[in-house]
Structure 1
Amino acid sequence: QVQIQILTAPAASNTFTVQGAPLLLTPAFAAIAIGSTASGIIAEAIPVAAGDKILLYVSLTAASPIAAVAGFVSAGINIV
């Protein structure tokens, strides 16, 4: 299953820390055909300060029956 994790680092650092729970995208793929899509949404309250760095890390869960995925990721993050 494809998962997305948010990591943050202070402005003066390159050390990223995991924030919140991973977002597991659905559907979970047993095999992937061209044009397949997965999606998910989760509400998180992650504190950030001006200048903080935000990184989205996309990976497969250990239980995934597929070994690798090639493609594109798009995400929307609302910072208030």
Structure 2
Amino acid sequence: MPIKINKPTVTKKTGSKGFYARDFLNIRTKATWDSPVAFKVPIYYYAQILWDTKNGDWVQIEFQGKKGWYKTSFKKYWYEKDP
């Protein structure tokens, strides 16, 4: 009888959620590192993470009516609560 291995459950994030930037963050025009910077989110400013709009590991960010792309560890670069 084959051995069953329990895989960890991964919760997919959906919808949008607001976060606060831990540093000045470069938001790209496209979901690639070599695309130009569309805008920057200043430190401690609030932006929406649009979890439903993804491209690979990149997710779309909305800040003051502008949209762009960001890829990195969220806990390292974003606060979940107002600092």
TM-score range, shorter chain: under 0.3
Question: Which structure has the larger Rg?
Answer: 2
TM-score relative to the length of structure 1: 0.26
Q: Which is bigger in relative contact order (C-alpha 8 A, separation at least 6)?
A: 1
TM-score relative to the length of structure 2: 0.25
| Structure 1 or 2: more strand by fraction | 2
| Structure 1 or 2: more helix by fraction | 2
